[in-house]
Structure 1
């Protein structure tokens, strides 16, 4: 995964891979034979670098230890990339149908750019829901973030190292990954932010493609939610293989699809309305927000997918942009009768906020999700102790008393006047 200027119509410069193998003192020189741009839109924009997948043929049965990219076959390399290759045993190969094991799912998350917003409590609830749905691993990428978010990730990495991973991240144009500056530079140039996001998505995919059957690219306010009697992603994928493709974009003869995609529906705050589940505290964000917009987005607008590691080649934030066309069909959009992508944010079109509907399907997970999330809150010290609660109540009582005295004093002054 490298960055190259993506001007429209520009010829790619001749590039070679210098492959270094164990017990060999000279590299094998192979010409780059394929370029796959991960983000195809906006080509011709000056000053931007477009993430590009570059392919070199590797000798059959051999795996290089390291690879350098050079302009000429005999050039001295100025870069050296370590090759990560972790093949699975034959019986554990991805997508092998077996009654004695569930499908393996992983989630790739872009850098959490919440330097000033404490999203730690929502992150915990989201992680525990992902675990309930069948996610085996969630991979995050490091960036300057709120201290409580760092605490949460560190806690999970210590207690569940196989479930949460945090990887380092550098920016494509060389911007320093420093607190405040990183947040500012990303916020000031949204297009550059999008292009940078493609790198961790594909880095995550390639690092984990031999470990999992399906990989999703999500934000922490997004949930692919199975509906009806289906409560996990393994059963959802099994069902998705049999249901029709929404609007029929893929042929009925398809047997395999690069991805199963799910239409977006918004769950806004509706902050002016009372919470729905009175038995639960307000810090259970998703459990409390069960009103959604009446409309779902179309199949190409803000959908999210579960990508097959057998067929996907390159990902962007919503779809597989490249895949093995000879072996699989394009993505299937699963009808909303069976599942939906629940997006806990405000819709861009504010008219969609009108006439919301109650969709409390998440309450199927309420007992387990509540218990697991609450246990994490307690362990991390996010909940006040009894003495702290007593002190807070006393502080609130005094504040209310002072406000009442002030209001009474104002009223008496008005009467006297």
Structure 2
């Protein structure tokens, strides 16, 4: 009997020691927070997660301590029908739940559509750092039935690239293969480290091209099946295309790209797939941005004018009508160096290079909120080369402006494009 008592007390004592050690490590180094999570709910793995109300769509939560210690949840909500949402934070080690009411901040550039890019701003608990959050329309309920999201940027990555291009969104069974390859190779010449593409749909051939660049390590694909949840417009304003959400949720994707790459990239370029921010005075983006940042040390956003190079107007004598490219679907941008002139009393649209750590909210052509200034870059320094259908189709050819800036790298570009097409089997 005495022997059994001794063994009993030995087990109890050992258990207490183990518990004390676990508590000590929990306080000191937070080891159990992520690895042995007690947080419940269904883990969310998709880019877009609808809540059961079908009026709230969660993209991803990001830790943001630039002003307040909070989690900023990038989402899409109905601007009238969603009145209240609550953030349910979970302590990974204990399973403790902390609930705070979300501030629902629908972005001002909604362009009349009922759904819009939205930040759900959730104040975090003061005494511990949550790694998971769920979003619910009530402060009470069963957390087991809620999607559980891991909070990004809590422990930022240390590996930085200099430039990341955010492309949002690739849709409409995109098949402009030649222009895409040319743009990708031009990005690489100019200094890109990563290209993030929010992909809705593309052709099988384009899928093959994307796979090539993914294997190369330069392209990152973010699945973007937004049309599985909402009726999306292919036009910019509700008055011309009355759907649920504008332009395949482009603004939401851009905002997600900023927060996703906030600590992964020194600068982000926010432009469409058929656009290139093309330096005029500098050989590449790095030398251009070094000079612009010295000239404007308080700047967070650099704005570049968009100029149209009509794909319907070809270069005289056509020196880049390369026979091996003719069977590849898409536009050959080297054949289009005639630029439309500015229109009277109409400002050119713009695209941007931003410091993601200083941006709070962005739209397509300008930043809505930032911790820093916005600078308009003169077009002789750089412009947005945009090869597309003309905006001034009735202009005579003589009125177009010859602009051969794109040709400065023509020898290198042709070699690189040929190599890619050969490797892909085109």
1:113 aligned residue: 171
1:398 aligned residue: none
Partners of 1:195 and 1:53 in 2: CA distance: 18
Task: State yes or no: 1:69 paired with 2:135.
Answer: yes
2:105 aligned residue: 36
Task: State yes or no: 1:193 paired with 2:246.
Answer: yes
Q: Is the 8 A contact 1:226 1:339 kept in 2?
A: yes
Alignment of 1:336-415 (within 5 A): 336-351=379-394, 354=397, 355-382=399-426
Q: Alignment partner for residue 219 of structure 1, among 261, 265, 272? A: 272
Give the Å deviation of 1:299: 9.6
Q: Is the 8 A contact 1:275 1:288 kept in 2?
A: no
Partners of 1:272 and 1:157 in 2: CA distance: 32
Distance 1:136 1:164, change over 3 A: same
Q: Is the 8 A contact 1:299 1:333 kept in 2?
A: no
Q: Alignment partner for residue 92 of structure 2, among 7, 12, 22? A: 22
Distance 1:231 1:13, change over 3 A: same
Distance 1:191 1:164, change over 3 A: same
2:152 aligned residue: 84
Q: Is the 8 A contact 1:264 1:297 kept in 2?
A: no
Give the Å deviation of 1:368: 1.6
Distance 1:239 1:53, change over 3 A: same
Give the Å deviation of 1:153: 0.2
2:223 aligned residue: 168
1:148 aligned residue: 205
2:286 aligned residue: 234
Give the Å deviation of 1:173: 7.4
2:186 aligned residue: 129
Give the Å deviation of 1:198: 1.8
SS in 1 for 2:123: coil
Partners of 2:88 and 2:78 in 1: CA distance: 22
Partners of 1:108 and 1:84 in 2: CA distance: 18
Task: State yes or no: 1:335 paired with 2:405.
Answer: no
Q: Is the 8 A contact 2:226 2:248 kept in 1?
A: no
Task: State yes or no: 1:276 paired with 2:318.
Answer: yes
Partners of 1:362 and 1:136 in 2: CA distance: 20
Q: Is the 8 A contact 1:70 1:76 kept in 2?
A: no
Distance 1:16 1:349, change over 3 A: same
Compare the two structures and name the one with the higher strand fraction. Answer: 2
Q: Is the 8 A contact 1:304 1:318 kept in 2?
A: yes
- When the two structures are superposed, what TM-score results if normalisation uses the length of structure 2? 0.71
1:411 aligned residue: none
Q: Is the 8 A contact 1:65 1:82 kept in 2?
A: yes
Distance 1:190 1:69, change over 3 A: closer
Tell me the matched-pair count.
Answer: 341
SS in 2 for 1:255: coil
Q: Alignment partner for residue 304 of structure 2, among 240, 251, 262? A: 262
Distance 1:216 1:191, change over 3 A: farther
Q: Mark the runs of 5 or more structure 1 residues left unpaired by the alignment.
A: 95-102, 244-253, 383-417
Distance 1:125 1:52, change over 3 A: same
Query: In the TM superposition, what whole-angstrom CA distance separates every residue of 1:322-369 from its partner, at most 9, and x where no partner exists?
Result: 223xxx12x111011211111111333335565112111111111221
Partners of 1:240 and 1:299 in 2: CA distance: 26
